Amino acid sequence: MTRAFILFLFAFSVAFAQIDSVLYFGYQIQGLDAPGAIDSLANSYYDLLVLEPTRTDADCIDFDTRGMVERLHATAGTMLSSKLAIAYIDIGEAEDWRIYWQSWWVAPTESTLGNPDFMLRLDPDGWEGDYPVAFWDSRWQNIIVDNDSSMLKMAIADGFDGIYMDWVEAYDDSMVIAVAETAGISPDSAMVAFIQHIRDVARSINPNFLVIAQNGADLCDDHPEYFGIIDAIGQEDFNFYGDADVLWDDPLAGDFPQDTDYHNYLIGQLNTYLANDVPVFTIEYALIPSNIDFAYTSDLALGYIPFVTQTPLSRLPGYFPPGYAIHTKSLEKPELTITASPNPFNSSCAITVPENADVEIYDLRGNLVWQTNLSDSKERLQRDAKHRWS
């Protein structure tokens, strides 16, 4: 009988932090209360999932967010035996559907501040119900961080492994800048301090809590200390973007090409994070298969960890990154084992397998790099320093 073996070998040093082992990530912040939504997440092979902390939605206060996180922790990704669940929290905008929104609050308009007056304007990208804030205001920071019922502390109580901070780019918003300057505040310095505060409070409760920023990559330009504050950065719209407030099947939910000059600028910025050992996640919005393939291929080639989806972020897409499903292949005789020494390795590795084994070897990205049938149980595969198998 022929026995099939699938082997994954990774030519790098063992990573100490789980974030460094993430190969695939997913992102869903709408529709988590829909039938089958949590099943889909649990059955996926994403190592890290960015998710809405759903019970903070005023319409979903009875949602079992902790139960969702516990179920995901009980399922494996591709690289991790327990998925990482990261709570999406908008730190730069107030959202009128959150449980912190009070009945007496009044949203800002195009010409007036909101009430409370830390809400400054309408969302410039057209997202309804979102309002950029003076994020340095102690009232806002109480909502996000400091109160016992803050968004951050609720996420930690629900078992999330980290925070995914949206609208970090608030420091670069024209209205926010104007208000900050009037108050004698440097908005970029204030944002770095805010994120540092988030990290400090979170780590005082859970020393392993991850702090991930979305967008605002140029925050590091005048603040190199930022590299040591965040554990990763996500960048939306790297190659393709979609419209705000559209449905999943709307053709406007993706495929708009990013401006070439801005795209090239982002490459320079994001590569600075990689150079400082900060992982880079990219979020692309595309529907056409050729755009999906291009986004995954080009982002992977740059060393980023991409996820291609559609702007509603209301479900997991039916298309996947290269190599995503490779690990679903299993040993026909799981009680039989192989040996690989050393593993991990830098220059060479010897693999011993049982006789009559079909062997397939995949690289870190899930690409098939070598396959053969070995008829002699004493045969060994050897990988040399030039990355050739023999």
Any idea how long the chain is?
390
pLDDT of residue 333: 40
Confidence of residue 373 (pLDDT cuts 50, 70, 90): low
According to DSSP, residue 13 is labeled P
Query: Nearest 5°: phi and psi at 291?
Result: -70, -40
- 58 pLDDT exceeds 90? yes
Three-class HEC string of 83-111: CEEEEEEECCEEECCECCCCCCCECCCCC
- Looking at the chain, the whole-number percentage of residues with pLDDT higher than 90 is 76
According to DSSP, residue 151 is labeled H
pLDDT of residue 323: 83
- 344 pLDDT exceeds 60? no
Averaged pLDDT for residues 145-166? 97
Measured CA to CA, the distance from residue 29 to residue 343 in angstroms comes to 38
Contacts of 138 (CB under 8 A, 6+ apart): 146
Quick: pLDDT tens for 95-143: 999 999 999 999 999 999 999 999 999 999 999 999 999 999 999 999 9
- 259 pLDDT exceeds 70? yes
Query: Nearest 5°: phi and psi at 116?
Result: -65, 155
According to DSSP, residue 15 is labeled P
H runs (alpha helix) in 164-252: 174-182, 187-205
Averaged pLDDT for residues 356-365? 59
- 78 pLDDT exceeds 70? yes
Q: Which residue has better confidence, 346 or 26?
A: 26
pLDDT of residue 350: 65
Beta-bridged to residue 289, according to DSSP, are none
Q: pTM for the whole thing? A: 0.81
Q: What are the tokens at 172?
A: 């670069």
One-letter identity of residue 160: F
Q: Which residue has better confidence, 368 or 160?
A: 160
Where does residue 125 rank: exposed (0-12), middle (13-18), buried (19+ CB within 10 A)? exposed
Q: Among 330, 350, 331, which Cα is nearest to 339's?
A: 350
Query: Nearest 5°: phi and psi at 161?
Result: -90, -10
Q: What are the tokens at 15?
A: 């990573």
| C-beta of residue 274 within 8 angstroms of C-beta of residue 225 | no
Confidence of residue 18 (pLDDT cuts 50, 70, 90): confident
- Tally of CA atoms within 13 A in the half-sphere of 289 that contains its CB: 1
Measured CA to CA, the distance from residue 257 to residue 219 in angstroms comes to 24
Measured CA to CA, the distance from residue 369 to residue 173 in angstroms comes to 47
H runs (alpha helix) in 219-378: 260-275, 289-301
Query: Nearest 5°: phi and psi at 45?
Result: -115, 25
Averaged pLDDT for residues 369-389? 51
pLDDT of residue 324: 83
pLDDT of residue 133: 98
